[in-house]
Structure 1
Amino acid sequence: MSKADPGEDLLAEYNRKRDFTRTAEPSGKGAKRRVGKDPRSNSFVVQKHAARRLHWDFRLEVDGVLKSWAVTKGPSADPSDKRLAVRTEDHPLAYGGFEGIIPQGEYGGGTVMLWDRGTWAPIEGKSVADLEHGHLHFTLEGERMKGEWLLVRMKGRPGEKRENWLLRKVSDAHAGTGDTLVEQGLTSALTGRTMAEIELDKAGTQSLKGKKGDAFTQAMSDASAHTDGKARAVSSPAKGPNKAPPGRKPRTKSAVAPPEFRPVQLATLVDTVPTGNLWMHEIKFDGYRALIAASGGDVRVYTRSGLDWTDKFAPLAAQVADLDLPPCLVDGEVIARNAAGNPDFSSLQAVLKRGHGAQGEKDALEFHAFDLLEVGGEDLTSLPQIERKERLEALLAAAEPPLFVADHLIGAGESLYEAMCKAGQEGIIAKRIDAPYSGKRSRSWVKVKCTRRQEFVIVGWSRSTAKGRPFSSLLLGQYEGDTLVYRGKVGTGFDADSLADMAARLGKLARKSAPVEVDRTEARGASWVTPKLVAEIAFAELTSEGRVRHGSFLGLRTDKQAKSVTPEIPQPAPVAAIEVQVSNRQREIFPETGQTKGDLADYYAQIAPLMLPFAANRPISLVRCPQGRAKKCFFQKHDSGSFGPHVSHVPIREKDGGAEDYLYLADADGLVACVQMGTIEFHGWGSRADAVEQPDRMIFDLDPDEGLDFKECVRAAKDIRAHLADIGLVSFAMLSGGKGVHVVVPLSRGHDWDVHKDFSRRFAEAMSLAEPDRFVATMSKAKRKGRIFIDWLRNQRGATAVLPYSARARAGAPVAVPISWDELDAAKDAHPYSIADAQGLVERARALRGWGFADQALPEF
C-alpha cells in the first residue's frame, strides 16, 4: 500500500471501473486526501456482497476514503480463525451508506447489504500509519463486530498482483467460537432486510430502531400485515384430538436409565417481536427453567445449570413417574401461581421455602414443557423446532395438571405479546420453527419482555437506620467478561421474611474488601460479601453509568451461578425470511384457477410450520411440472445437483448393490427451492434420512373405486382405525387431496423393512378376507369394482406416500390435509382445501396438536 500524494485523485481506480449512468453506487469524483482528523472518530462499514462469489467487503475510513478489503468467508469472532482479506480499490466515504443492487454486467454486479457499521481506532500506542507497514492493530465499535482486531499483510509471491491480508479477531471479551457472526448476521444493519428482500427491492421487515409512539405502532402494524391482525384470547394449553386414544396399552417399566443432563438453549433478548409464519410464539413463564429426565418411574429434575433438584420438585417428579414414559429428556419451566392466578416468581420461592417442594392445593407447582431433546434413545436436537414440539405433544398426550405442554401460536406474535403485557406477564419467547436445538444462547430463540428485569450478583449491603431492619439496600454487580462491574443499589421489594432470610445469607458471606470497583460515595457505610448470591431485580431503566434506577427485589435465583450473570442488552429482532429467489412467479401452474408459481411458493412458505414435522429430513420424491400441471409432469427421486444449497441428498443403496443420491430437505427454504424447480407435490419415504433402513411411519392408502360414495371411504378409515386400536396402535386420518383417505400409523424405530412390509400386507389382507365385498388388497382394477383398495404397498422400501400439506397436481390446486377422527365424519370429499387456504390451515392446526406422532412399536401379529 503506497503512501498517497495529497494532490492525487484518490478514487481514480474506483471511478474508472464504474459507469455511474447505470449503477446507483456513489461517485467518487472530486474526493481529496484529508489529514489531521481524530482517528477515534473514523468510520468503518462491512457490506455483504453477492457478486460472482459471495464475500464481505471490509472498509476502514482513512484520510478521507474507505480503505477496502474483500473477505471471502466473512469476518470471524474466533481468534483461531484467520480470514483471507484481499485488498481492493479505495471507495468514497459515501459508499458507507450504500445498500442495493449493482446491475449485472457492471463491475461487482450483484446485491449489496450494509451488514455492519460503526467506528474504529488504532489501539493505544499504535497509529493509522501502521497500515503502510502491513500490520494494523485496532478496535471496532460496530453493531456486530466489536473489540480488538488485526489486519496483517501477507508476503506476496513473485509476480502476484493482488495484495493479500489476513483479518483476525484478538482474544478479548467480544471473542467467540465458530462462525456465529456470519451465520447469525442475516439482515441489514441499515434496513433490517435480508439479501433476498434487497434483491427484490422490497421494504420487507424494516428496522423498528428509533421509532416511538405512533410511528412505532404503525411500523409494527405494517410488519405484521400478513397476519389476521386480530388479538386472540390466550387460553390454557389445549389437548390434542387423540389425548386418550382407544386401545392404547400401558407401557411396562423401563430398565434403561434416564438420559443425562444437557446444556439448555437460551434466548437472546430483542426489542421487538419477530414477524412471519417462520416463528412460533410461547408465553415466557416467570419461574425456574428445568430439564426433566425420565425413564418409567425413574425421574430426575435438573436446573438450567445442571443441579439435581429432584428433591425440591418431588411432587412434580412423582407426577411424571406416573406417566411411565420411555427414556426422554424434556425441557420446560416450573412455575407457581399467585392469588390472581398468574405465574409469579415470588410465589414460587415461597413454595420452595416451605419445605423443598411441599405443596398444598392452593400453591401446587406446575411444569410447562416446551421442548423434547431425546426420546427412546433418539437424539432429537437436530430436528426442526416445530417437529420437536409435535413429538412433545404426542409424548405428553396423557399428561394431566400440574403437567402441561406450553401452548404456542404460529405467526401473530404481536397479539400474544400484547395480551401478555396487558395481563401483567413477563413477555413472550419466539422460536424459529425450522431451527435445531443448539444447547446455548442463540437468535433462533428470542425473548421480548414487557418489563425490564435482569439478574444481578449481590456484592454488598448498606446499613439501615430503621429499627428492626437488617439492611437498607443491596449493592449489585454484573460480570463483563471476567470483571465484576458495579450496577447500583436496590432497597425495595422486601418483606419481613425475605429481609430475615437475606440477612442470614449475607452474614455467612461477609468479607472486608469490596469485590468491585466502586466510588467512595457509593461505598460509604457499605458492608461487602463474597459474590455468590444472584438476585432477580425489576427496574425502570439503567442510567448512563449502567446503574439500576427504581429497582425492586423479586427474589433470589438459587438455580443460577454468579459467574453466569452478565448484562442483557436488547438486540434488533431477527427477520426470518425465505432466502430462495423464485423466478417466473407469474407462470400459471393451475390453469383452472389461474394460480401461479408464485402462489404455490407462497403457500409452501406459509405452510412450512405444519409441513416440516413430516417432510424434513426424510428422503423425498417430487412431482415436477415445470410448465404447469396441465403439461408434462414427471417424478424425480434422485439428486440431479440442480436444486441449490437448501436441498440435500443422502446416498441410499439400490437393489443392484450400487448407491444413488436421494433428495431430502430440512427447512422452509428447501420447500421453496423445490418449487423454484417446478415441483408441485412432495412424497416421502416411510423412514428418515439418518436411519433409512428403520421405518417409522406406516400408511394405508384407501383408494375407492370410481363412483363409490366418499362416505364409504370414511367408514372404511374408521373401521381400520378401530382394528388397529384393537392391537394397540394409534392411528390418524388424512384427506389425500385426491380421491381417498390415508390412515397414518406413526411408529418407533426398531424394526426393518421386511417386518414393516409384511405387517402391512397381512393387515390389509385380513381386512379384505373379513369383508371381501368392501375391501381388496391387490392392485387389480378388475377386482376393485365397487370396493376400496387398501393400498399397503406404500410400506415397502423405496415406496413413497404424499406428505401432509403437500399440494396436488390436480385441478383446483388441492392439498393433502390432516383431519381429526371427529371431523372426518363431516368430510364430503378428499379435497376440501387448496393452496389458497394456507392461513386457515395454520389456524385450524392448533386443534390438531400431536397429530401424526405416537410412541409405539409394531405388535406381534
Structure 2
Amino acid sequence: MAGLGPYLDKRDFGATPEPSADGTPSRLGLRYSMQNHDATRLHWDLRLEWGGVLLSWAVTRGPSLDPAEKRLAVRTEDHPLSYLTFEGQIPKGHYGAGTVMLWDLGWWQPLEPAARGLSKGHLKFRLHGQRMTGDWNLIRMKGKTADAKRENWLLVKIDDEAAQQRDPVARYKTSASSGRSFAAIKADKPAALPDHRGTLPRHQPVQLATLTEDLADAATHWHELKLDGYRAQVALGAGGPRIFTRAGHDWTDRFADLLPALRGVPCKSALLDGEIVAGAGLQGFGTLQDAIKAGGPFRYVAFDLLQLDGRDLMALPLTKRRTALEKLFRPLPPMGALTLSPVIHGPADEAFSMICGAGGEGLIAKRTDAAYRGGRSRDWLKIKCRRQGEFLIVGWQKSDSRGRPFASLVLAEQRAGGLVYLGKVGSGFDDEMMADLARRMAPLARKTAPVEAPRREVSGVTWIAPKLVARIDYAETTAQGRLRHAVFLGLQTDKPTPKQATSPPVPLDRPTLAGIALSSGDRVIFQTPRLTKAGLAEYYLAAAPLMLPELANRPLSLLRLPDGMAGERFFQKHPGKGFPDALKVQDIEDAEGSATPYAYVTDAAGIVGAVQMGTVEFHIWGARRDRLDRPDRLVFDLDPDEGLGFAATRRAALDLRDRLTGLGLASWAMLSGGKGIHIIVPLRRQASWDTVKLFSRGVAMLAAGSQPERFTAEMSKVKRKGRIFIDWLRNERGATAIAPFSVRARPGAPVACPISWDELARIRKASAFSTRQALDRGWADVVPPPPQHLTAPVIEALDRALSEMSRARD
C-alpha cells in the first residue's frame, strides 16, 4: 500500500480543503503527526513520514500509554507529506467527511530497520511529539479481514519512562497547533493559541561556568552533563513564548519547532535557563546547525528556573530552584521536546570517565546552596574532556603582532595514505617557546605544501618539512578532522621523524581516504553483506573513475543514512555547514530567482566526503553545472508493479530501446539496483528542459497507448496495477536519477550498474550486482552512444507515431 494514487482517486479537490500537492521531504529527521478525525466514527489518524509519503493508520480508540492495552490501527491509504499539518472541515458527502484536528505533531525515529519492519509487519519506533512520546510497536495482525484490502495492525506502547502516564485521549481535547476545539475548527473560527497570562519575563544575564581541571567536591556540588548545543533562556508569559540566546538576542523564529511544547508548560509566567540541542534522537553541535537550517527537530533541556508566576527565584539556592523546576515539568510528557538536565549526585569520577570515553563534552559542577548570579563565577565549574596527541608541524602562519614570530602552527599526521591536515594550534606558547620554535623551523622552510589542505584555511602559510613533532592538548576532532580547542604543550624531541608521530588525533576508526578523515568508520551500514562506513568509502574511492564521467559537475541529491540501514534516512540537496570542502557547492537560482546551494563533486575526494556525511546513494541532475538550462541526458525509469517479475521488465526495456531506435535515438541501459531498469539517451546540449520533458512524456504515452495492458505513463499506483510505469518525470529541471555505480540503500547493498543490451537477456534481477561484482566488471562492454540531437525530424517522427496510434484507437 504505497503511493498517492488511492489518496488522489478518492478525493475531489475542488470541494475538499485537503491538500493535493505532494509536499517536500524533511531534510533532517522523519516527521510524524496524529490527527483526531470526527467523521462517521471518532478516531485518531497516525501519520509517519516514509519514502516521500505519510504512512497512515486509523487508530479507532486512540493511543494508550498502557503497555497492556492493544489498540486497533487500520492501515489506510498513503497521504501526501503536505497532509502532515492539515486541520479543517471535509464537506458532507465527500470521502472522510467530518472535522480533522491536528492532535499531535513531531518527529519519529525507527528503532529497527523500518523497511524490514513494514515488510514483516512489526514496526518498532520512538515518537518525539508534543503529546505522544517514548517507544511504540505497530504489529500487523494475521488472518484475513472482511475487506481483502484492509490491513489490521495493533498500536502498543512499549514499557518505558513515558508509559503509564495519564490517558492522552482524555487529557487533550484541543488542537496541538491552534488550540481550537472541534466546534471551533468546524466553524472556522480564528486560531486560539493557549497563552500564558502573566507578565512576560525579561532576559537575565546568564550564569557562566569557570573552567577547571578537577571534578568538584560531591558534598557541596552536584554535576550535570555539559551539553553540545545553544544556551537559551525561555520566557513564558503574555506575548510569549520567547527564546533568547546567551547574549539576549531573540531567536524565537529559529527555534519555532519548540513553541507548541513550550506553550504547554503549566504556569502563568516563567523564565527558564537551559540548552537547545538537536532532537528526535540526534545529537552534536554539527547536527544542531543542520537542524536550525531545516527548522527542527529540537529538544530543550532545562536546568534552571529563574522566575515563576511573577516570583523571582534567582536568590534561592540551586536545590530549591531545581525542586520548583521539577514540579513545573512534572505534568509534561516524559521523553518529549522539553526535558530536564540529569543530575549526578555524589562522586562523578566514573560518570566523567564514561562521558569522555564516549566522546562527550564533559561535566558542569554546580554549588547546591548558591543563588543564580549572572556572569562567570566559581559557583559553576566547567570540567572538559581533554585529549592529547603528538602531531607533525608542517608550517606556520604569520602574526600581525610585532615581536611574535608566528600566529599559529599548522599540524598534520602521517597515516597510511600520507600526511593528513589537522588544522592549526595558536595557543599555549610563551615568548621563549616561540623563539625556539621559530629558530628550529627556519632551516626547514620549503616552497610547496607537504600536505593537502583547503586553500582558504592555509592562505599565507610558510611551509616546512615535516620534521618537528608537537605535543598537543585538544578537546575533540571536528567532522572535518580538525583539532578543536588545541593547545601547544611542547616539542617531542625524542620523536623527530614522521614515522614516529603515530598518536591518533581521532579514534582509530577514522581512516583517511582521498584526504578525507572518516569518523565512525567501523559503523555498520549494511548487515548482509557486512559493509561498514569505511568499507563503503573504500568502494566509492575505487569506483570513482567509473562514476565521475557521469557524476562529475552535476548538481546532486544525496540520500544520507547517518546511522546506517537501521536508522533514519533523508534526501539532502542543499549542503550545510560541516560538509567537507571536497564536496563543492554551487548556488542555483530557482524559478522565482532565489539562489539555493547545491552540492556537486569533481573528484574522488568529493565522493568520499559525501560518504563521510553519511551518504549512501548519489542521485544526479540531467544537466551539467556549466549549462543547467540544457540537459545532456534523457532517462526512462521502468518501474514495475510489485507483482511483475523481472522478465517482464527486461522485455519492456528491449521494446522501449527498439521504439527509441525507430525514432532515431540510440540508448544504453542500467540496472537500477532496485526493481527496474533505466534507459539513458545521451543528448547534445541544445534542447531545453521543456522540449526534453514533452518528448519523454510523448514516448511514454506512445508505449502506454500502444500496449495499455503492459505500460502506463501515469504515476498512480492504481493505474500501475499489473503494468510497468514508464517514469518520464526524471526529465525535468531539478529532477534526479540514480548515478551509475551508486550503491542503493537496500538490503544486500546492490549497485546501480550499466549493462550491455546483449547481456540483458542473462540478467535475472535489477539488483544483480554487489559492490565487488560492480568493481570487477566496471563498464564491461557498455559503450554509451555519443550525444545525439533532439532534432525536428526526431520530434516529428514521435508526433506521427502518436497520431497513428490515436487514429488506430479511434
Please give the TM-score of this superposition, normalised by the length of structure 1. Answer: 0.37
* TM-score, scaled to structure 2: 0.39
